[in-house]
Structure 1
Amino acid sequence: MDTHFTVTPRFAVKMLEKALRLYTPSLSEKPMAEFLADKCDDLGFEDIQIDEVGNVIAKKGSGAPRIMLCGHMDVVPGKVKVRKEGDSLYGRGASDAKAPLMAMLFAAASIQNNNGTIIFVGAVDEEGNATGIKNLVKKKMDIDYAVFGEPSGIKKVTIAYKGRLAINLKISVEDSSHASAPWLSKNAILESMIFARELKEKLEANQEDKSKGMLLTATMTEVKGGTSHNVTPKECETTFDIRIPVDMN
């Protein structure tokens, strides 16, 4: 049966708003998965499933080419009130990446049989450890092309993303001292700060002519240290998130 759907802008915005009202941090995407599976059924998709890790997978159309449209259902932690302001819609995941995900769902719904096959995927844990994508790779899916929905603009296709290097640093000093006499020992947190400053200065140097999207960045994201408010710390654990642009080896 050749089933064709026309999705109006009003309907698309309404469905995106519903998706944004579902708070889905990594590995808590079940409400979004059930919502998408239900919409896939309404829109005439076939072979709809929620796989063993929570990915939503559905098929529309038939024949070649076989194209996967994949977006992620999870968001970074932290709730943002869903609201409309003029022509803009705000909420956690509005940009990254429920809007691209819903756009691909409705684009896939418009395909007609014998014009190719769309494999629609709503993946889990993209903001975490990529559990969803890793499971898709294991499946060795029969596809010719894959397009991933991310907030990279709508006027051109992005062919690469920055790489990521995580550094977990642990600094230990020989002894600690009372905060009233800090000169008696080194301070593990201060030593970490010194390292962080030097790392950032060296890695981010000589980039004055680059656009923001092409910058190498070194960002401290986590710091753990100290055992008491009045004692200098003997240990400090720090995490650095380094993003490497696509033109750098």
Structure 2
Amino acid sequence: MDTVPGYLEVKLSNGKLYGRGACDDKASLLAMAFAFLEVEEIRGTLMYVGVVDEEGDSSGTRYLIENAGKSIPKPNAIIIGEPTGLDKIVTTYRGGFIVKVKVKSRGGHASSPITTTNPIVKVYEIYNKLCRLLSVGNAYDSISITPTVIKGGDFENKIPTTCEMILNIRIPPKTNCLEVLERLNRFIKELSIDNSTSITYSRCIEPVNLRIDNPIARAVTRA
């Protein structure tokens, strides 16, 4: 139900609603709610779920996965309301995980850069090496590595003591978490990093590649 941070003015113009999250993902939630009202009889159980923290750690979805078949029914199929336009049904979706690179240094004065390690420079060197290792191939089939947060430095004339970069890694359907994490772990090992540098990563979410002849996909397409 949630969306990325930021504010866009909420307004209604010519019968259309504008504002942060109006399309992603409030519109599909509302459409599904009205679809539920139209269902008169169904063989089985139909669930309507509005999960939270989807732009964060996906705690809502994780709860569903961990409790499926226990406190809540285990679904046979799931329709996710990510906006894809009114004329497209998406059957593949990238997986991914988060990498955090952190470098420490004793810092120093900007007039003497050769006397110390600049953690900002070192973080970017690691980022560039990681891109060369993982991000190969065309735009669709390659792993994407996107810097989303960087923290380092507090004064224009001072070499900082720390720098941290967060990378959002997205995995295409033709690969998987195990393969990518094995390559990442080899990369970390080959870097021979010391105690001044740390590279950590979150739990990896597998990509999805659904067959186009899947009954649910075909039913939604016909609808």
Query: What's the TM-score bracket when you normalise by the shorter of the two chains?
Result: 0.5 to 0.7
Where does 1:103-122 land on structure 2 (aligned, <5 Å)?
103-113=31-41, 117-122=45-50
The structure whose RCO (Cα within 8 Å, separation 6+) is larger is: 2
1:204 aligns with 2:135: yes
Tell me the equivalent position of 1:187. 118
Q: What is the identity percentage for the equivalent residue pairs of Structure 1 and Structure 2?
A: 35
Q: Is the 8 A contact 1:169 1:237 kept in 2?
A: yes
* Structure 1 segments (4+ residues) deviating >4 Å: 84-88, 114-117
TM-score, scaled relative to structure 1 = 0.60
Tell me the equivalent position of 2:77. 145
Tell me the equivalent position of 1:134. 62
Consecutive unaligned residues of structure 1, counting only runs of 5 or more, are 1-72
Consecutive unaligned residues of structure 2, counting only runs of 5 or more, are 177-223
Taking structure 1 as reference, are residues 246 and 86 closer, same or farther at Cα in structure 2, changes over 3 Å only?
farther
Alignment RMSD (CA, Å): 2.4
Q: Give the drift of 1:77.
A: 1.0
User: Matched residues in 1 for 2:44 and 2:174: separation?
Assistant: 34
TM-score, scaled relative to structure 2 = 0.67
1:231 aligns with 2:150: no
Q: Give the drift of 1:237.
A: 1.5
User: Matched residues in 2 for 1:149 and 1:102: separation?
Assistant: 10
- Give 3-state SS (helix, strand or coil) of 1:242's partner: strand
User: Matched residues in 2 for 1:215 and 1:88: separation?
Assistant: 36
Q: Give the drift of 1:95.
A: 2.3
> Would you say how many aligned residue pairs link Structure 1 and Structure 2?
172
Letter aligned with residue 81 of structure 1: E
Higher strand share: 1
- Give 3-state SS (helix, strand or coil) of 1:119's partner: coil
Q: Give the drift of 1:113.
A: 3.3
Letter aligned with residue 34 of structure 2: F
User: Matched residues in 1 for 2:98 and 2:42: separation?
Assistant: 45
